[in-house]
């Protein structure tokens, strides 16, 4: 690991400034024009991801769509995955960890998520994502700026120093209301758990319902300092990254 500064990248900065007022569809089309077919989209089938999935499918954009199948997703999430593949003319690739659940338990002990969720996310999410992004020039994420303090500092287009490629965030300026308005307008299927008190859904062992008035992400890793699985974190110590395009 090498400490490097977030050096200015004119191409990325200018693109981000140009796209600041763009619609998510315009940003996605720009990304596809510039980076396809070396453009990936990782979705966990949250409301924001479903908006992007719908837009990608509508425009038949050439994007490598995948989901991180940790092996402990909710049954409702697996069912939604199948439903989306029936609805849209695209394949949603499964990206799985190198260790299955039995191998992880044998090597690190049972229910690693209870003892070391950071390590568990590393094995089941971050490492598989890094592997899946290898060979791509850019990836699309469904983050919104108002979700966490960390996400508030993201740009529409930015250099992802953690994974060494460009990251495109088409929904950065959208609110939760914008997202749900789009899903209702286009009749996009969503995870039924949202109606049972789960505004943000991750792995089964680490997601609990949220009480009225709580932060929408309060049910993720409840009772722990952890708020992100590490996919969108901005590290202070950064790996070396290749030159910008
Ligand atoms: S969210 Fe929980 S179960 Fe899923 S990878 Fe992270 S720690 Fe493991």
Residue 104 and residue 70 in contact, taking contact as beta carbons nearer than 8 Å: no
* pLDDT, tens digit, 9 for 90 and up, residues 128-181: 999 999 999 999 999 999 988 888 999 999 999 989 999 999 999 999 999 999
- Tell me the CATH number at 143: 3.40.50.620
How far CA 22 is from CA of 9, 175, 180, 241, in Å, comes to 20, 15, 19, 28
Check: CB of residue 30 under 8 Å from CB of residue 19.
yes
Give the model confidence (pLDDT) of 196-245 as tens digits. Answer: 999 999 999 999 999 888 888 888 877 776 666 667 665 543 333 333 34
Question: pLDDT of 1-21, one tens digit each?
Answer: 333 333 446 689 999 999 999
Q: Give nearest CA residue, ligand 1 atom 1.
A: 203
Residue 86 domain-assigned? yes
Whole-number Å distance between alpha carbons of 156 and 166: 10
Token readout for 204 is 């089964």
* pTM (2 d.p.): 0.87
pLDDT at position 98 is 97
Which residue has tokens 């003892």? 115
Q: How far is the CA of 223 from the centre of ligand 1 (A)?
A: 14
229 is annotated as an active-site residue: yes
The residue whose CB lies within 8 Å of the most ligand 1 atoms, and thus the one to mutate among 42, 68, 70, 200, is 70
Burial (CB < 10 A; 0-12, 13-18, 19+), residue 125, is buried
CA of 121 to the centre of ligand 1 (A): 5
Q: Ligand 1 centroid to 124 CA: how many Å?
A: 7
**Residue 85 resides in a domain:** yes
How many domains does the structure of the chain reveal?
Answer: 1
Strand partners, 140: 41, 168
Let me know if residue 68 belongs to a domain.
Answer: yes
In a domain, 239, yes or no: no
Would you say how long the chain is, in residues? 245
Question: How far is ligand 1, taken at its centre, from the CA of residue 37, in Å?
Answer: 30
Q: What distance in Å separates the CA atoms of residue 216 and residue 75, rounded to the nearest whole number?
A: 21
Round to whole Å and give the CA distance between 160 and 126: 13
Q: Is residue 244 part of a domain?
A: no
Mutation to probe ligand 1, out of 67, 77, 96, 202 (largest number of atoms < 8 A from CB): 202
118 CA to middle of ligand 1, Å? 8
- Note whether residue 228 is domain-resident: no
pLDDT at 147: 86
Look up the domain containing 130 and give its range.
Answer: 10-193
* 156 is a domain residue: yes
pLDDT at 78: 98
Find all residues with CB under 8 Å of 168, minimum gap 6, and list them: 27, 28, 31, 138, 139, 140, 141, 156, 157
Atom number in ligand 1 closest to CA 113? 7
Using the predicted structure, report yes or no on whether residue 126 has a pLDDT greater than 50: yes
Span 71-78, average pLDDT: 98
Residue 142 inside a domain? The answer is yes
**Is the CB of 145 within 6 Å of ligand 1?**
no
In ligand 1, the atom with minimum distance to the C-alpha of 229 is: 6
Helices (H), 152-200: 176-185
| Mean pLDDT score, 48-60 | 97
Q: Tell me the pLDDT band of 114, cut-offs 50, 70 and 90.
A: very high
| Ligand 1, pocket-test mutation among 74, 203, 219, most atoms within 8 A of CB | 203
What is the pLDDT at residue 1? 31
Q: What is the pLDDT of residue 237?
A: 34
């Amino acid at each position: 690991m090498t400490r490097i500064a977030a050096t200015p990248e004119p191409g990325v900065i200018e693109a981000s400034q140009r796209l600041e007022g763009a619609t998510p569809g315009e940003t996605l089309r720009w990304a596809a024009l510039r980076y396809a077919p070396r453009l990936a989209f990782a979705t966990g089938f949250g409301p924001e991801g479903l908006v992007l999935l719908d837009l990608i499918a509508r425009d038949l954009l050439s994007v490598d769509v995948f989901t991180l199948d940790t092996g402990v997703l909710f049954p409702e999430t697996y069912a939604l995955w199948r439903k989306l593949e029936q609805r849209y003319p695209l394949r949603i690739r499964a990206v799985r960890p190198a260790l299955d659940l039995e191998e992880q338990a044998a090597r690190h002990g049972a229910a690693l998520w209870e003892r070391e969720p950071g390590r568990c996310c590393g094995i089941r999410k971050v490492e598989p994502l890094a592997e899946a992004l290898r060979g791509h020039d850019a990836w699309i994420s469904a983050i919104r700026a108002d979700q966490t303090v960390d996400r508030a500092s993201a740009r529409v287009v930015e250099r992802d120093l953690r994974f060494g490629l460009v990251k495109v965030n088409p929904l950065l300026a959208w609110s939760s209301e914008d997202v749900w308005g789009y899903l209702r307008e286009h009749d996009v299927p969503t995870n039924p758990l949202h109606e049972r008190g789960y505004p943000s859904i991750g792995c089964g062992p680490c997601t609990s319902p949220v009480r009225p008035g709580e932060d929408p992400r309060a049910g993720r890793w409840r009772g722990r300092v952890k708020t992100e699985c590490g996919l969108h974190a901005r590290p202070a110590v950064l790996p070396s990254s290749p030159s910008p395009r």
